[in-house]
Structures are given as structure tokens and as C-alpha cells.
Amino acid sequence: MEHIWSKIEELRAEYDLLKEDRTPIDVFTFLEVDLGLDPIPFDDLVSKYRVEAAIKADFSGIYMDAEQYVLMEKAPEWKLNRLRFTVAHELAHYFLHQNLPQTSHFASLPDFAKWTANYHGRKYTAEQEANEFAGRLLVPETRLGQLFDDFASEANRLMPNFMSSGQLRDKFAERVAPRFGVNAQVIAIRLDRDGIWPAS
């Protein structure tokens, strides 16, 4: 995953909006303003294709489920967090996987959706890379590490073996998730992946 992490660091150095102190990262503004990509509301994207967003075959925009996009500001926090992660996931395809599709083969979104079900046999790898990119982009390692260090100094005083408590780990993930605009599960994964507080 080092190539993904280094790509994110390159992007943080290039774009102020992605700096570690700008959490929650505003991927929606980044998408439209910094990258000049079009958010394209698409009716029934979730019900028809089982995805909340999908990068266009020519990488010029991102389709988003119309209902979720239009109601984004009125949606419950967990839905906005999920959409933020999904958009970050699609941005990963933009930055990491432009060499995979052959745009001349896609006449429509359904054609592209069928192709993305497989990615010429690279589906699993491409999706894992996109998830890692999204998680690391939205939850900068050093920022999460600082929050953990602050928490750990107090927790260790009260309960020296606190790191063996899965319940306490879950509570920490729930507590810090709003600072990054993600759901607690994303924090739990980052605690594992970044070696900050691996699950026992």
C-alpha cells in the first residue's frame, strides 16, 4: 500500500484542501473546484447498479445517486459520511486506475458498470486500493495518531491494559469519527492499517 500512501502525500502537498489539518476533508469541493470534475446526479443509481457513485469512463466526472446528491445537506450525518467515503473511493480510481479502462468500449453507464464488475480480472485489487486510498485520504495517519496519543495518556493512567479492550477501542473510534467526517468503522480500519491500535 506504500504507493497509495505516497500518492496521497503528493496530493496533500499539492492541494491545500487535502492538508491533514483540514479534516473533515471536503472531497465534494475538491472534486468540483480543484479537479474540475462534474458531479452528475443519476436517477436510481443505487437501486439499478448497487453503487452510490461511479467514476465516468472518460474520468471527466463522477455519477452520484441523484436522491443522495440532492438531499446531501439534509441527510443524516451517517449518510453524508458514507457518501464522502464513496466519493473519496471514486477519486482513488481517478488517481490510480486511469490506465485500466479503454474509453472507446463504453457507450453508456450500463456498459461501464458491467466492465467495472470485473476490471479485466483486477476487480478485487482495484477496489482494495480504492478503499485504502479513501480511508487514508479522509483519516490522515498523523492526525489520528495525535488523537490516539492524547486519549492513550489518560486511558493508560486509568486502565494500564486499555489496549486489550475491544470495547474501549470501539468507543474511541465512535468518539473521533466525527472529526474526520467518517463512520466509526473507517476509524477502526485505520487504527488497524496504520498500526495505531490494532484489534486484538
What are the structural domains, with CATH classification, of the chain?
2-138 (1.10.10), 141-193 (no CATH)
| Distance separating alpha carbons of residues 130 and 10, to the nearest angstrom | 16
| Distance separating alpha carbons of residues 104 and 55, to the nearest angstrom | 15
| Distance separating alpha carbons of residues 199 and 69, to the nearest angstrom | 34
Beta-bridge mates of residue 44: none
Supply φ then ψ for residue 12, to 5 degrees: -65, -40
Q: Residue 166: pLDDT band by 50, 70, 90 thresholds?
A: very high
Whether residue 152 is predicted with pLDDT greater than 60 in this model: the reply is yes
Contact indicator for 101, 118 with CB cutoff of 8 Å:
no
Determine how many CB atoms are found less than 10 A away from the CB of residue 51. 17
3-state secondary structure at position 43: coil
Q: Note the pLDDT tens digit of each residue in 113-125.
A: 665 555 544 555 8
Greater confidence (61 vs 137) lies with 137
pLDDT at position 121, please? 47
Q: Note the pLDDT tens digit of each residue in 25-84.
A: 999 999 999 999 999 998 888 888 888 888 887 888 998 988 888 877 777 888 889 999
Whether residue 15 is predicted with pLDDT greater than 90 in this model: the reply is yes
For the segment 106-115, the average pLDDT, to the nearest whole number, is 60
Indicate the pTM of the whole model. 0.87
- Neighbouring residues of 100: CB distance < 8 A, sequence distance ≥ 6: 119, 120, 122, 126
| Distance separating alpha carbons of residues 198 and 191, to the nearest angstrom | 6
Rounded to the nearest angstrom, the gap between the alpha carbon of residue 54 and the centroid of all alpha carbons in its chain is: 13
Mean pLDDT score of the chain: 88
Which DSSP symbol is given to 32? I
